[in-house]
C-alpha cells in the first residue's frame, strides 16, 4: 500500500503562492503567528492505526508487519518502545466512539548515525525519532495540542525555536543557529508552521521549509553560482540571466503553459531558456551536447535564486506600500 504526505511548500515556492492570492492579504499573511522548529536531517517515519489495523511507514510506503520496515533492525530500543506507546495510545483513543472510525497517524523524523550525510549525533544506540505531527483523518492537530500529547507519551518533539510572525521567521539568522540535536554548529534549516487563516484555500498545508546555505555546502561542497561539471563550464552560462528567465516565462505563457513560480516550473524553464539562447546567441543552431548538459544542471539552481529574489522584492514592495500609506495619513 502506498500513500504520500500532503504538499508542504519550501521557501522557493512561497513567491508563487503569494502571487495566487489577492495582494490585500499579503500583510495578513506576513503577520500570521507561526511556531518555528529546527528541521531535522533524517528520514520521515509515521505510525498509526486505521480501519485495517496498526501500521508503520515511510514517506510513500507503509507496513502492517513492523519488521518489514526497511530500517527496523536499526531502530533503537527506545524508538521501538515509543512506537509501542503510540499504538497503545491510539488504540485506547479509538475506543471512544468519536474516534472509532478515524485514522490516527503520528509523524516524525528518523535520525542517527549513518542515516543521512552531513550530520553526526551524540548517541550510538540506534536510530531515534523526533516527532512533529499528528493527523486525525485529514485534519492535523494544532501545535499546542500535539505538543501536549508528545509530552504525555514521553516522546521527544522536534527542537522548538519560538513563536513569531511569518515575517520574523523568514528574517531569522538561521545561518548562525547551532543544532539542538546534532553535533554540528549549524542546522539543516527551520520549519515554519503558521496558524491557518479562514481565507487559506490552497492544497498545500501552510508549512514553509527554509534551509540554510551551510547545510547545502556541507552536503554538496562549497556552494558557488557557477560550478564545473566534469571540469567543464559552458561558455553560454553568462547568458542565463534574470531577463532571459523573464523572456522564457513570457514565451511559455503565450503558449498557454501555466507558470506557478514554483520548482515545478523546472519541467519547462530549462528547455525554454536553452532554446532562447540558441536562437539569440548561437544564430539558431543547437548548442553542443556538453553545453546543454551543463546548462540543464545550472538553470534549476539559477531559478531557485530567481524565486528567492522575487520573494525579497515582494516583501520590499509591501513595505513601500505601507510607508506610502503612513505618509498619506500625515
What are the backbone dihedrals phi and psi of residue 7, each rounded to the nearest 5 degrees, phi first? -65, 140
Nearest-5° Cα angle at 306, 302 to 307: 120
Residue 15 Cα to chain centre, angstroms: 14
pLDDT of residue 61: 80
**pLDDT tens by residue, 175-231:** 999 999 999 999 999 999 988 766 666 655 678 888 887 776 665 444 346 777 777
CA dihedral 23, 24, 26, 32 (to 10 degrees): -150
Domains of the chain: 1-38+160-215 (3.30.1490), 41-157 (3.30.470.30), 235-329 (no CATH)
Prediction pTM value: 0.74
CA dihedral 197, 198, 199, 203 (to 10 degrees): 80
| CA distance linking residue 39 with residue 209, whole number of Å | 8
pLDDT of residue 274: 96
Q: What are the CB-based long-range contacts (under 8 Å, 24+) for 156-160?
A: 156/128, 156/129, 156/130, 156/131, 157/37, 157/130, 157/131, 157/132, 158/37, 158/38, 158/39, 158/40, 158/109, 158/130, 158/131, 158/132, 158/191, 159/37, 159/38, 159/40, 159/130, 160/35, 160/36, 160/37
Which parts of the chain register pLDDT below 70? 1-9, 197-205, 216-225, 330
pLDDT of residue 3: 37
Q: Alpha carbon of 207 to those of 55, 132, 143: distances in Å?
A: 25, 12, 12
pLDDT of residue 226: 72
**pLDDT tens by residue, 276-304:** 999 888 878 899 999 999 999 999 999 99
**H helix or E strand, kind and range, residue 26:** helix 26-30
Amino acid at each position: 500500500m502506498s500513500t504520500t504526505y500532503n504538499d508542504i511548500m519550501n521557501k522557493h515556492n512561497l513567491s508563487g503562492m503569494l502571487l495566487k492570492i489577492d495582494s490585500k492579504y499579503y500583510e495578513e499573511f506576513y503577520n500570521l503567528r507561526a511556531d518555528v522548529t529546527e528541521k531535522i536531517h533524517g528520514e520521515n517515519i509515521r505510525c498509526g492505526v486505521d480501519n485495517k489495523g496498526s501500521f508503520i511507514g515511510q514517506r510513500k510506503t507503509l507496513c502492517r508487519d513492523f519488521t518489514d520496515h526497511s530500517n527496523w533492525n536499526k531502530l533503537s530500543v527506545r524508538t521501538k518502545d515509543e512506537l509501542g506507546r503510540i499504538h497503545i495510545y491510539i488504540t485506547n483513543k479509538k475506543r471512544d466512539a468519536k474516534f472509532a472510525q478515524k485514522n490516527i497517524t503520528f509523524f516524525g523524523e528518523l535520525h542517527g548515525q549513518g542515516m543521512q550525510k552531513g550530520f553526526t549525533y551524540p548517541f550510538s544506540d540506534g536510530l531515534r525519532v523526533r516527532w512533529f505531527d499528528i493527523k486525525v483523518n485529514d485534519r492535523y492537530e494544532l501545535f499546542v495540542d500535539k505538543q501536549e500529547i508528545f509530552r504525555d507519551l514521553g516522546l521527544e518533539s522536534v527542537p522548538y525555536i519560538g513563536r513569531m510572525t511569518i515575517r520574523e521567521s523568514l528574517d531569522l539568522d538561521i545561518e548562525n543557529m547551532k543544532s539542538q540535536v546534532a553535533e554540528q554548529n549549524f542546522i539543516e534549516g527551520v520549519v515554519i508552521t503558521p496558524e491557518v487563516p479562514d481565507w487559506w484555500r490552497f492544497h498545500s498545508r501552510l508549512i514553509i521549509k527554509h534551509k540554510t546555505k551551510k547545510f547545502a555546502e556541507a552536503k554538496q561542497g562549497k556552494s558557488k553560482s557557477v560550478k564545473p561539471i566534469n571540469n567543464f563550464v559552458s561558455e553560454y552560462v553568462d547568458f542565463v540571466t534574470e531577463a532571459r528567465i523573464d523572456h522564457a516565462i513570457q514565451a511559455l505563457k503565450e503558449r498557454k503553459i501555466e507558470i506557478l513560480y514554483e520548482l515545478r516550473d523546472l519541467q519547462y524553464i530549462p528547455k525554454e531558456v536553452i532554446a532562447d539562447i540558441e536562437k539569440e546567441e548561437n544564430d539558431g543552431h543547437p548548442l553542443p551536447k556538453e553545453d546543454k548538459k551543463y546548462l540543464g544542471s545550472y538553470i534549476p539552481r539559477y531559478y531557485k535564486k530567481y524565486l528567492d529574489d522575487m520573494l525579497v522584492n515582494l516583501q520590499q514592495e509591501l513595505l513601500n506600500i505601507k510607508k506610502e500609506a503612513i505618509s498619506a495619513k500625515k
